[in-house]
Chain A
Amino acid sequence: MNIITIEHIAKIYQVGSEEVFALRDVSLKIDKNEYVAIMGPSGSGKTTLMNILGCLDTPTKGLYNFNGLNVSDMNDNELAQIRNREIGFVFQTFNLLPRSNALHNVELPLIYAGIKATERRERAIEAITHVGLLDRMTHKPNELSGGQRQRVAIARALVTRPSIILADEPTGNLDSKTGEDIMYLFNELHQAGNTIILVTHEESVAEHAARIIRVRDGLVEKDEQVLNRVIPVKRAANI
């Protein structure tokens, strides 16, 4: 079953009198429980594609169907609701609220979903436990290491039980070992049945996915299954 279907999507920016194509014509299908990497050099349009897939932005042309809903016609509020319920974001720079502790950061999407305090707390603690940070949940982001921050961000992405997890260069700001730990976590989430979309420009990161979509000049250059997937191993000492 397709979670994401996009057909002939284009994104055009007006710069002065000139039209700039960030995306020219992209069509994709992503199934439930797929592990997809979107690759491309900078300027390829992969960020624009990610923004559209993440419902942060809408396409200028084309159709975007998410879980049977036509996203391309949605207004701001409806998009916010989709982002809240269906999509879990993981960013390169973690994007945690700096003044709130880990627990509150994880709780935040549930606040916007209108879930009551007691249930919210339970679910947030559950998600934090899942990423192995139960003992750090009252710490603020600046009291956590990079890897721990990214785990908090992943917990925040998971807590709403979204249809897809969208990770934008999740290891970009981490050293390679910590990065490996994060990739292990993604692998685990994938095996637990989550759909994961990874945006990266690093081949070594993309190879963790089962499928790589290569974007260049606003077009899909290649869409292939990965033959030799890297399966990350859990390190003994955890961060």
Chain B
Amino acid sequence: MKNFLFELKEGLFISLRAIKANKVRSVLTTLGIVIGVASVVLMSTAIKGINQSFQKGVSSLGSDNLYIDKWEWFNNDVPWWKIRNRKNLKMEDYEKYKERAKLPLASAPTVWTSQTVKYNQESVEFVFIQGTTHDYINTTNLSFTYGRFFNELESNGSRNVCVVGSEINKKLFPRDDGFEKTVEIKGIKFKIIGILEEQGSYIMGNFNPDNQVFVPINNIFKYYQSADSRSITINVRARNSQTVEDVKEEAIGIMRQVRGLKFDQPDDFSINQQEGLLTTINNTVGVIEVAGLLITGLSLFVGAIGIMNIMFVSVKERTKEIGIRKAIGAKRRTILGQFITESAIICLIGGLIGLIVAIIGVKIIEQYDFPVSLEFDAFILAVTISLLTGVISGFAPAFTAAKLDPVEALRYE
């Protein structure tokens, strides 16, 4: 062991000297590894970021939530044309459900429309406007920077009040905030009575509350689309995760009654859950992960081939040197170790530079609000893969060097 450490230390010095002696070549070779490691680290960071924001987005839906909808969100067990022929869910359905359901903590109907929101010169197009009731806030974990959600009175009275997400607030009021100001949604005036705290789950896009505006549900029917044209979704929150299944069973029972289904008819509605979303997301992230790492792994592989190539050249070029070293007593494994160490060091240096490049890249990407997550394990990842690459791609050239015949190597010019 002591002997091994000694040889490692000496091998390190010898390698460093050789790398210093061939600066340009070492730099060019390192570049391949720099790019490889940087892209692998960046990719894995991005994937982690995407995954985390997905998870966050999903958990912002709440694990205790159910969504009664005409549409099946995640499974494709029922053919789409059958689903299309289902009757729309209407407010009457919700009201009956609310009346009969005993188990949920809260339930609220939602319907959405996409409109332009304006304040003076500023305007945001295609905003996801959610129509709902005062109960909605109890089916979510949303919290407020300013103000509150609309109350029962405002909801039932279809007052022109709205609650805006943090992004919308930022876009419409770049300098201050819009609390208690009046915005126009497709020409109709609404007073902002609440601004949501930032949720920060970017991936969800329009479905992110940050990008939404909430208004009393009847305003949607009054101003933007008729109550018949689009099916509503009923958001239901269970008291806790243990009762989710019971709430679901109860909901199926009530909805079948409400919809007047006979015992042999299949459900003409779907109960959607976060779990379904999670599975979908995990599958998606899984695919991204495999594809991403495959592509970046390829660039690392190219870098590794570069190293191997250069090490072969280096061995050939230094045949005489190897002969000299062998003549004065270097053993096979000493030579083997020397060249593997050399290639490992080149790769390690490349890996560390690649890591720095990746960190800079992450900082840049963060400016564009793309989710990334750089943690200490990126460092471990970079060091491990660069060392591994170095050892693996250095092995074959080093082995060639180690088994050179000293007599012939000495004669080589």
Contact = CB atoms under 8 A, between A and B. Distances in A.
Contact of A56 (B18, B325, B333, B410): B410
Nearest to B2: A114
Given A95-B324, A97-B321, A99-B17, A84 B410 contact: no
Interface size class of A (residues with CB under 8 A): 20 to 34
Interface stretch (A27-35, A61-69, A74-82): A74-82
B331 interface: yes
B10 A97 contact: no
A102 B410 CA distance: 20
Contacts of A160: 329
Interface residues of B, number: 24
Given A89-B328, A111-B10, A112-B334, A56 B17 contact: no
Given A56-B407, A56-B410, A97-B324, A80 B17 contact: no
Contacts of A51: 407
Interface string B1-34: 0010011001000000110010000000000000
Nearest to A75: B332
Interface in B300-346: 320-321, 323-334
A77 B17 CA distance: 25
A99 B407 contact: no
B330 A80 contact: yes
Contacts of A95: 320, 323-324, 327, 410
A84 B329 contact: yes
B328 A112 contact: yes
Contacts of A139: none
A56 B327 contact: yes
A80 B326 contact: yes
A56 B326 CA distance: 9
A57 interface: yes
Interface in B385-412: 406-407, 410
A82 B55 CA distance: 65
Nearest to A86: B329
A120 to B, nearest CB: 10
Nearest to B21: A99
A100 interface: yes
B329 A109 contact: yes
A81 B331 contact: yes
Contacts of A114: 3, 6-7
A57 B323 CA distance: 12
Contact of A80 (B21, B323, B324, B331): B331
B329 A80 contact: yes
Given A99-B17, A114-B3, A76 B332 contact: yes
B330 A112 contact: yes
A84 B327 CA distance: 8
Interface string A102-117: 0000001101111000
Q: Which of B7, B334, B407 has the most CB of A within 10 A?
A: B407
A83 interface: yes
B17 to A, nearest CB: 7
B390 to A, nearest CB: 21
A46 interface: no
A41 B321 CA distance: 28
Nearest to A96: B324
Nearest to A95: B324
Contacts of B332: 76-77, 80
A161 to B, nearest CB: 13
A24 interface: no
Interface string A123-159: 0000000000000000000000000000000001000
A93 to B, nearest CB: 9
A85 interface: yes
A85 to B, nearest CB: 7
9 contacts: A51-B407, A56-B407, A84-B329, A84-B330, A89-B327, A89-B328, A96-B324, A108-B328, A112-B330
Given A83-B328, A84-B329, 8 more contacts: A51-B407, A84-B330, A85-B329, A95-B410, A97-B321, A99-B18, A112-B329, A112-B330
Closest 9 CB pairs of A and B: A84-B329, A112-B329, A99-B21, A109-B328, A80-B331, A95-B324, A56-B406, A77-B331, A111-B10
Interface of A: 51, 54, 56-57, 76-77, 80-81, 83-85, 89, 91, 95-97, 99-100, 108-109, 111-114, 156, 160
